[in-house]
Amino acid sequence: MSSRRSRSRQSGGSRITDDQINDLVSKLQQLLPEIRDRRSDKVSAAKVLQETCNYIRSLHREVDDLSERLSELLSTTDTAQAAIIRSLLMQ
């Protein structure tokens, strides 16, 4: 196992195979709601990368919006309720 590991690390360090990249790109594709359900051979790597960028940008926007919403809510709410929320989220 350890020898296999070091070999794969070696190849990762010096020479990157197409298989490695294809594998990572298809893993990435499965995380993207826009193109998740499409067959991986129908979607080019460039398309996956483009959709990845779009998705990250939309998530960043959502974090911004939610931070804004929370900062407004904080001025009117008592965060002593944190314990309740924690139990709510841990369910």
Partner 1 sequence: MNPKPLSSTSITSTIKSRFTQGFLRALKRINRQKPRTGTPPPSSSREICKRYLKVKVAADASMACAVGSRRAWSRAMLRKIRSQSTCVKVRRRTRFRMKKKESNEKEDGNPKAMELRKLVPGGEAMEICKLLDETAHYIKCLSTQVKVMRRIADFYSSN
Contact positions toward partner 1, by CB under 8 A?
1, 12, 16, 20-21, 24-25, 27-28, 31-32, 46, 49-50, 52-53, 55-57, 59-60, 62-64, 66-79, 81-82, 85-86, 88-90
- Is 34:51 a contact under the CB 8 Å cutoff? yes
In this complex, which beta carbon is closest to partner 1, that of residue 27 or of residue 38?
Answer: 27
Range 68-89 burial, b when 16+ CB lie within 10 A, else e: eeeeeeeeeeeeeeeeeeeeee
User: Please, which residue, 7 or 69, has the CB nearer to partner 1?
Assistant: 69
